[in-house]
Amino acid sequence: MRSRYTAFALGDEAHLLGSWHASTRPDRVEIDPELRWLRLDVLAREGGGPFDSTGTVLFEAIHRDAGGRGVLRELSRFVREDGRWYYVDGVVS
């Protein structure tokens, strides 16, 4: 989760696509150059431990753009394949 947040903050489309599960991966990631990511707060997680194959992360990502400060809150699902975690999808609330 933290590496994907950092990739959004740095505009690293290659990392975002590479960490996205093939079953849900888009062709491209639209990164808004006007959006400045300020902070990531992980609020909760379930699974995702060393012996798990799935996990969820509830997070808030604080950002700023020309319109002011905003918060993205999402419950993200991850799956581990071949020892590596992949983002599957998320529900924004």
In tens, the pLDDT along 2-37 reads 999 999 999 999 999 999 999 999 999 999 999 999
Determine the pLDDT at residue 28: 96
CB 90 within 8 A of CB 75: yes
Secondary structure percentages of the chain, helix, strand, coil, to 5: 15, 50, 30
Choose the CATH number for 2-92 among 3.10.450.50, 2.70.98.10, 3.40.50.720, 3.40.50.280: 3.10.450.50
Determine the pLDDT at residue 1: 85
The domain ranges of the chain are 2-92
pTM for the model: 0.93
